[in-house]
Amino acid sequence: MQSSANTIEAYLAELPPDRRETVAAVREVVLANLPEGYDEGMDFGMICWHVPLSRYPDTYNGHPLGYVALASQKRYLSLYLMGAYADGDGFRARYEATGKKLNMGKSCVRFTKLDDLPLELIGEVVAEVSPEQYIEIYEKARGLR
CB 58 within 8 A of CB 51: no
Distance CA 93, CA 116 (A): 16
Question: From residue 7, how far is each of 31, 79, 82, 90, 104 by CA, in Å?
Answer: 16, 18, 22, 34, 27
Give residue 1's pLDDT: 61
Confidence of residue 142 (pLDDT cuts 50, 70, 90): confident
**pLDDT at residue 132 tops 90:** yes
Give residue 88's pLDDT: 65
Give residue 3's pLDDT: 85
Q: In a 3-state reduction of DSSP, which class is residue 77? A: strand
Average pLDDT over every residue of 17-38: 97
Its pTM stands at 0.93
- Who's near 2: CB < 8 A, 6+ residues apart? 44, 45, 46, 71
- Domains of the chain and CATH, by start: 8-141 (3.90.1150.200)
Distance CA 10, CA 4 (A): 9
**pLDDT at residue 63 tops 70:** yes
Question: From residue 124, how far is each of 31, 81, 141 by CA, in Å?
Answer: 12, 11, 23
Distance CA 145, CA 142 (A): 8
Nearest C-alpha neighbor of 107 from the set 42, 44, 36, 55: 44
**pLDDT at residue 66 tops 90:** yes
Nearest C-alpha neighbor of 47 from the set 15, 7, 14, 89: 7
